[in-house]
Chain A
Amino acid sequence: MNSSNAPDIRFAQVEKRFTTDERTVLAVDRTDLLVRGGEFLVLLGPSGCGKTTMLRMIAGLIRPSAGKIHIGSNDLWLGEQRNTAVTGELGVVFQDANLFPWFSIEKNVSLPLKLRGVSKSERLAKARQLCELVGIGGFETAWPRQLSGGMRQRAAIARALSYDPRILLMDEPFGALDAITRDQLNLELQRIWLRQQCTVIFVTHSIPEAVFLGDRVLLLSPRPGRIDTVVEVPFPRPRPTSIQALAEFQSIVQRLRDRLEEIT
Chain B
Amino acid sequence: MSLKFDRTRLITPALLVAFILIWHFYVTLSGISRFIIPPPLEVWDALIDLLTTPSTLRHTWATIYETLLGFVIATIVGVALGTALGKTPWLERVVNPFIVATQVVPKVALVPLFILWFGFGPESKIVVAAVLAFFPILTNTVLGIKSVDSGHRDVMTVLNAKKWQNFVSLELPSSLPAVLAGMEVGIVLSIIGAVVGEYLGGATGLGYLLVASMNNYKVGMLFAVIILLTVIGFVLYLLIGVLRRLVIPWHESAQIKARAAMV
Indicate whether A256 reaches chain B with its CB closer than 8 angstroms.
no
What is the chain A residue whose CB lies nearest that of B155?
A: A98
**Complex: A94 Cα to B250 Cα, angstroms:** 22
Q: Which residues in A have their C-beta under 8 angstroms from that of B173?
A: 100, 102
Report the interface size for chain B: residues with CB under 8 A from the other chain. 21
Determine whether the beta carbon of A101 is less than 8 Å from that of B250: yes
Indicate whether B18 reaches chain A with its CB closer than 8 angstroms.
no
Q: Which residues in B have their C-beta under 8 angstroms from that of A112?
A: 159
Determine whether the beta carbon of B158 is less than 8 Å from that of A115: no
Choose among A82, A84, A88, A111 the residue that contacts B169 (Cβ–Cβ < 8 A). A111
Determine whether the beta carbon of A100 is less than 8 Å from that of B169: yes
Determine whether the beta carbon of B160 is less than 8 Å from that of A87: yes
B117-161 CB mask vs A (1 if < 8 Å, else 0) is 000000000000000000000000000000001011011011111
Q: Which residues in B have their C-beta under 8 angstroms from that of A145?
A: 250, 252
Q: What residues of chain B have their CB less than 8 Å away from a CB belonging to chain A?
A: 149, 151-152, 154-155, 157-162, 165, 169-170, 173-174, 176, 248, 250-252
Report the interface size for chain A: residues with CB under 8 A from the other chain. 24
**Complex: A74 Cα to B159 Cα, angstroms:** 18
Q: Which residues in B have their C-beta under 8 angstroms from that of A103?
A: 250
What is the chain A residue whose CB lies nearest that of B161?
A: A115
**Complex: A60 Cα to B165 Cα, angstroms:** 19
- Which chain A residues in 133-180 approach chain B with CB under 8 Å? 143-145
Determine whether the beta carbon of A61 is less than 8 Å from that of B158: yes
Indicate whether A210 reaches chain B with its CB closer than 8 angstroms.
no
**Complex: A114 Cα to B162 Cα, angstroms:** 12
Indicate whether A200 reaches chain B with its CB closer than 8 angstroms.
no
Q: What residues of chain A have their CB less than 8 Å away from a CB belonging to chain B?
A: 59-61, 82, 84, 87-88, 90-92, 94, 96, 98, 100-103, 111-112, 114-115, 143-145
Q: A92-B155, A115-B161 are in contact. List 18 more A-B contacts (CB 8 A).
A: A59-B158, A60-B157, A61-B154, A61-B157, A82-B160, A84-B160, A87-B160, A91-B158, A94-B155, A98-B149, A100-B169, A101-B250, A102-B173, A111-B159, A111-B169, A115-B159, A115-B165, A145-B250
**Complex: A189 Cα to B95 Cα, angstroms:** 51
Residue among A60, A91, A94, A115 with the highest chain B CB neighbour number at 10 A: A115
Q: Which residues in B have their C-beta under 8 angstroms from that of A111?
A: 159, 169
Per DSSP, are chain B's interface residues mostly helix, strand or loop, or mixed? helix
Closest-CB distance, B173 to chain A (whole angstroms) = 4
What is the chain A residue whose CB lies nearest that of B176?
A: A102
**Complex: A61 Cα to B174 Cα, angstroms:** 21
What is the chain A residue whose CB lies nearest that of B166?
A: A115
Choose among A94, A102, A114, A143 the residue that contacts B154 (Cβ–Cβ < 8 A). A94
Q: Which residues in A have their C-beta under 8 angstroms from that of B176?
A: 102
Determine whether the beta carbon of A96 is less than 8 Å from that of B158: no
What is the chain A residue whose CB lies nearest that of B157?
A: A61
Closest-CB distance, A202 to chain B (whole angstroms) = 16
**Complex: A220 Cα to B151 Cα, angstroms:** 25
Closest-CB distance, A76 to chain B (whole angstroms) = 12
Determine whether the beta carbon of B157 is less than 8 Å from that of A115: no
Q: Which residues in A have their C-beta under 8 angstroms from that of B152?
A: 98, 100
**Complex: A176 Cα to B152 Cα, angstroms:** 18
A115-B165, A115-B169 as given contacts; A88 in contact with B250, CB under 8 Å: no
Q: Which residues in A have their C-beta under 8 angstroms from that of B151?
A: 94, 96, 98
Determine whether the beta carbon of A101 is less than 8 Å from that of B251: yes
**Complex: A59 Cα to B153 Cα, angstroms:** 13
What is the chain B residue whose CB lies nearest that of A84?
A: B160
Q: Which residues in B have their C-beta under 8 angstroms from that of A100?
A: 152, 155, 169-170, 173-174
What is the chain B residue whose CB lies nearest that of A100?
A: B152
By Cβ-Cβ distance, the 5 closest A-B pairs, closest first, are A102-B173, A98-B151, A92-B158, A84-B160, A102-B250
